């Protein structure tokens, strides 16, 4: 697994900003400001989680390297920004749970989702 390149992160940030702007149109009130680093972390986490679903032979130790917990302060802006991407985590969680409910990936997904739901 390769690290994300700078131009990929910039392209992802542009897409996230467009997604945020579109989401604002659906709001009945003022939304929290976008926390770009949090949203980029969530995008990378989601991308890696999809990779782990597809690459079943990878060891749990590798998951720990690529599915790191969010390291910054969790604020309403952070939760909203992560949620912009984690809205798509549900189907992935359901699919990976169907493979094996005790799979290390399922455990990672539950732990990470719990941080932002609590």
Does 101 have pLDDT greater than 70?
A: no
Rounded to whole angstroms, the Cα distance separating 42 from 67 reads 10
Phi, psi (degrees; rounded to nearest 5) at 70: -65, 130
Other beta carbons less than 10 A from residue 9's beta carbon: 14
Give me the chain's average pLDDT, please. 86
- Residue 16 is predicted with a pLDDT of 96
Give the Cα separation of 86 and 90 in Å (integer): 8
Instruction: Answer whether residue 1 shows pLDDT above 80.
Output: no
pLDDT at 97: 67
- Whether 118 shows a pLDDT value over 60: the answer reads no
Contact 33, 84 (CB under 8 A): no
């Amino acid at each position: 697994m390769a690290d994300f390149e700078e131009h990929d992160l910039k392209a992802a940030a542009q897409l996230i900003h467009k997604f945020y702007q579109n989401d604002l149109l659906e709001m009945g009130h003022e939304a929290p400001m976008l926390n770009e680093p949090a949203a980029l972390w969530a995008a990378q986490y989601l991308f890696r989680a999809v990779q782990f679903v597809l690459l079943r032979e990878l060891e749990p130790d590798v998951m720990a390297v690529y599915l790191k917990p969010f390291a910054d302060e969790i604020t309403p802006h952070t939760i909203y920004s992560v949620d912009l991407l984690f809205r798509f985590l549900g189907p992935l969680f359901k699919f990976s749970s169907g493979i094996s409910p005790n799979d290390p990936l399922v455990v990672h997904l539950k732990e990470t989702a719990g941080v932002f739901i609590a």
